[in-house]
Structure 1
Amino acid sequence: MSTLALDPGLVARARELAARAAQPVIDLAHRHTTVSVERAVLRLAGLTGTDPVTGEGAAGGGGVGGNVIDRVPWANRVVDAVREQVGLESGVALPVWHALASGGTLQSLAEQVGAGTARFEIPTGTDTERAREAAREAAARGIACIDANRRRREELITTHGDPPRRPWIYLIVATGDIHEDIPQAQAAARAGADVIAVIRSTGQSLLDYVPEGATRTGYAGTYATQENFRLMRAALDEVSAELGRYVRLTNYASGLCMPEIAVLAGLERLDMMLNDAMYGILFRDINPRRTFVDQRFSRMVHARAGIIINTGEDNYLTTADAVDEAHTVTVSQLLNETLAKEAGLQDWQLGLGHAFEIDPDVPESFRLELAHALLARSLFPDAPLKWMPPTKHMTGDVFRGYLLDGFFNLAGSLTGQGILLVGMMTEAVVTPWLSDRDLALRNVRYVLNAAGNLAEDFAPPPGGFIDRRANTVLTEAVGLLEKIADHPEGLIQAIADGTFGITKRPADGGKGLEGVVATAPDAYNPALDLLERKVSRA
């Protein structure tokens, strides 16, 4: 596969600066917890279900398809009760497992919380160690389940095989009804999709709880719930056996419940998760401090589960110019890599994002796209990379759009992208019909089959247009990283200044800041304890 002859000193400098820029938010994550991190501990220990009494903090209205999305999960109730009675500075584990020392289960304790009879306190003396040990054993059972799912994935890949070529074809399915998503996902796999992504219902990232059950009504997407994960994974296992290749499942570990959704994904054997360090901050106005604490925990879970993350750099180019701001994509990729590796993720798990979003009327636009894509491949040779199709410049002319998607597919083949999201000629114009999807898949199959392993023949000459453009973008990225790294607040301030996607998000603004808690010296999180031991050995 062709890569560019980038200046190794400049590449090393870029990574050194990314590490410096990211360090303040890494330190922040080490010193804080959040309500969602603490709820994730309870979910890992097996707490499920909801309070049968509808709460003010949940979504209003009736249940969806007979489910209880308007009810508050027990995990929320317990964490809120602990916070109210003793605070979360020491974490939820010590007071919860101290309360369980006299008998009972997490479920019965949650019901006591619902009845208003549960009492929590921070244990002292020998009671502290007993609570720590009980909490560690409970979390270890959840992690053992995640480990078993990782082994099961590896067994199924050995049995059925991986797709015979890269890039993997990634296709979105999301009707709002999980029972309608399933046959559509299976049909997409039969038509050639290697990865099925179930988009979440609009606004779920802003819910500070995870709905429960198999949902049948969502808006422009389907609710991410543990039961929906289980149903779709089972359906894709069925079609994997039929097709003789393992079909991967993707969802979204982002928003206010990033840590909990990461845990649920590990427990139900999802294979990929959208998990970006800054997407929720920039595009959902979630508080930066909340996001950085949550993303570290969620990525540690993904690392343990063998899940590939997909980052969201492509979104910057929907709000900023894809040529002028190309270097911000590279900066974000380097920061995402730094934060991911600190959390224990390996190169093969880094589906770093970028996109084909240059205005096609710009002279040499295809050569520019090739330069940007080849820069990403050269900087991250062992990462799969997730290549996103054109959306911003889809005009409604479906013939032009179909041709543009063909160029996108060709660029993906030429530059060795790992994950290729299928572009639709009606993208951003209407909700695509199934026939649009079929035509789009034909486009992908034709280009990939016709191009074959053309990447091995594609070698832009040193000093040529593509080489010069890639080096220009890298040089601009290093310049921006120098500014970020030299600021005492590092990345936090860069986001406040509108560096990425021209969106300004101050450190103390956005949603969810009230859920961030500075930890005390005696804080204990059994899941972090177990996951960090794994990272330290890696």
Structure 2
Amino acid sequence: MRRGLLGLDPEVVATARRLAARAAGPVVELARAHTTVAVERATLRLAGITGADSAHRSGDVPWVNRVVDTVREHCGLEHGVALPVFHALTEQGLTSLTELAEATAAGQVSYRVPEGRERTRAARAARAAVARGLRTVDRNRAQREKLVARWGDPAQRPWIYLIVATGDIDEDVVQAQNAARAGADVIAVIRSTGQSLLDYVPEGATHHGFAGTYATQENFRIMRAALDEVSREVGRYVRLTNYASGLCMPEIAVLAGLQRLDMMLNDSMYGILFRDINPIRTFVDQRFSRQVHARAGIIINTGEDNYLTTADAVDGAHTVTVSQLLNEHFGHEAGLADWQLGLGHAFEINPDLPDSFRMELAHALLARELFPDAPLKWMPPTKHMTGDVFRGYLLDGFFNLAGVLTGQSILLVGMMTEAVVTPFLSDRDLALANVRYVLGAAGNLAEDFRPEPDGFIVKRAHQVLSETVDLLERIADDGLLNAIAGGTFGLMRRPADGGRGREGVIVKAEGYRNPAVELLETGASR
């Protein structure tokens, strides 16, 4: 994609980034000063704990939850879970964390924060165990690179991104493999409705999700193996996406790294705004999860498109750009490179508005030129899909054309049956045919597309950027948490002391130790 079509002022762009950094800075410091139950559970997952207590009266409870909850009850989590756990492992004479969890459930373990030599031994053992987990993540990253080199990447950009959402992992596999054969480059497995609000990760393969399939380590393994099989068949590496969001964001990020997922939905504010998860909990969890993604070579997808389903896509366009700049800063601070920042935006302007397509082009071009090296994720129309499948198919065609003209990187396939039914395979096949036609017929049309320097598209893009700078200045002065509480993004008001999961946030004590954080911090510049 040729750059510079909008004639953006480099000083204005630099000012926007400086303001985003100033707005994000206090939140980063807040994240550094806290931990959460999910971060501590993710640390033990990297250290090797697996499985669940199937004998519990309320159903299967993951062993990692049992251990972290017990440590918190006995001695708190202000010093981290690693020191008490690895001290107890030695003290009990056990060889695995799973054995320790079983003993914990039986009431045989008393946890405490060790001191002196005991502390040194526990810290050393914890670091060695977490390092083994990270070596698995590193091997998976190397394996991905090897398979991409062997099977190849898709020949065209944008990558074609398609969703499966049956609730049954076995049925998901059938749909995902057929989608890859029909041209999909990225398969996203939608999570079961409400999983983001569970404060635990289910175990095993699942067959009973609602409007999606549970994100579990075993489901990740099954789908990755299925996509490797079809990648070999179609002669290109097919990428797998899931969701590192909600109350278990850090744990799911770890499981993605351990099972070689390639992309993860991971937005800094989505859970706050649309799932009413406590803001501090979210920012602490997202920083850790992004450090894991950076290490694993995973591309994140952010969720700015969701703002335009609750706010007006014209009036709220600048809030998308503000969020993209914040997500960029948070991502860089956690160690993500530009090629891992799949910043989100969407084709959600009311199609009945005059010049709606020209405004869509302006917004998409602005994102492309502000983030030239980011794999932007371009989302199809949903809010104004009426159930008229013919009109919907036409809108999706315009969306696909906008993606070609503005050089988008990841194109989520729009469904003509949006808001009517969960798509059938036949619906997906028609949607993929729409994408294939537009990409094939338009070819390199982007190289011929030059908006007039003083025309509608360029002026609209400059207007949105100006509004972005104004809003960032207010946020930098008033505080990001106050902006979120005031309904700045998506018209959702979320106070810093409210929301789900706030009881899982812990202020770090002096002497807090977490080997995962330590190892990820040192490897953040990889």
TM-score when scaled to structure 2? 0.98
Q: Which residue of 1 aligns with 2:490?
A: 501
SS at match of 1:387: strand
Task: Determine if the alignment matches structure 1 residue 114 to structure 2 residue 105.
Answer: yes
Shift of 1:479: 0.3
Task: Determine if the alignment matches structure 1 residue 292 to structure 2 residue 294.
Answer: no
Whole-angstrom CA distance in 2 between matches of 1:381 and 1:204: 34
Question: Which residue type is aligned with residue 238 of structure 1?
Answer: E
Q: Which residue of 2 aligns with 1:99?
A: 88
Shift of 1:180: 0.7
Note if contact 1:55-1:72 (Cα within 8 Å) is conserved in structure 2.
no
Shift of 1:421: 0.3
Shift of 1:277: 0.1
Whole-angstrom CA distance in 2 between matches of 1:41 and 1:414: 44
Q: Which residue of 2 aligns with 1:528?
A: 517
1:383 is aligned, of 369, 374, 388, to 374
Q: Which residue of 2 aligns with 1:140?
A: 131
SS at match of 2:55: strand
Q: Deviations over 1:19-42 (max 9, x none)?
A: 010111100110000000000011
Q: Which runs of 4+ in 1 moved over 3 A?
A: none
Question: Which residue type is aligned with residue 55 of structure 2?
Answer: V
Q: Which residue of 1 aligns with 2:157?
A: 166
Whole-angstrom CA distance in 2 between matches of 1:398 and 1:54: 48
Whole-angstrom CA distance in 1 between matches of 2:449 and 2:220: 40
Q: Which residue of 1 aligns with 2:62?
A: 73
Q: Deviations over 1:168-223 (max 9, x none)?
A: 00000010000111011000000000000000000000000000000011000000
Whole-angstrom CA distance in 2 between matches of 1:425 and 1:380: 30
Q: Which residue of 1 aligns with 2:16?
A: 14
SS at match of 1:53: coil
Task: Determine if the alignment matches structure 1 residue 444 to structure 2 residue 446.
Answer: no
Q: Which residue of 2 aligns with 1:64?
A: none
Whole-angstrom CA distance in 1 between matches of 2:118 and 2:174: 52
Report which stretch shifted further, 335-344 or 126-135.
126-135
Task: Determine if the alignment matches structure 1 residue 227 to structure 2 residue 229.
Answer: no
Note if contact 1:2-1:458 (Cα within 8 Å) is conserved in structure 2.
no
Shift of 1:504: 0.3
Question: Which residue type is aligned with residue 31 of structure 2?
Answer: A
Whole-angstrom CA distance in 1 between matches of 2:35 and 2:444: 47
Shift of 1:54: 2.7
Give the root-mean-square deviation of aligned CA atoms: 0.8
Whole-angstrom CA distance in 2 between matches of 1:312 and 1:54: 36
Give the number of aligned pairs: 522
Whole-angstrom CA distance in 2 between matches of 1:52 and 1:377: 49
Shift of 1:461: 2.4
Q: Which runs of 5+ in 1 are unaligned?
A: 57-69
Q: Deviations over 1:363-401 (max 9, x none)?
A: 000000000000000000000100000000001111111
Shift of 1:128: 1.1
Q: Which residue of 2 aligns with 1:41?
A: 43
Q: Which residue of 2 aligns with 1:250?
A: 241
- For residues 169-318 of structure 1, the aligned pairs below 5 Å read 169-318=160-309
Q: Deviations over 1:337-378 (max 9, x none)?
A: 000000000000010000000000100000000000000000
Note if contact 1:2-1:457 (Cα within 8 Å) is conserved in structure 2.
no
Shift of 1:53: 2.4
Q: Which residue of 2 aligns with 1:84?
A: 73
Q: Which residue of 2 aligns with 1:459?
A: 450
Question: Which residue type is aligned with residue 171 of structure 1?
Answer: L
Query: Identity of paired residues, percent?
Result: 75
1:396 is aligned, of 377, 387, 402, to 387
Q: Which runs of 5+ in 2 are unaligned?
A: none
Whole-angstrom CA distance in 2 between matches of 1:150 and 1:55: 39
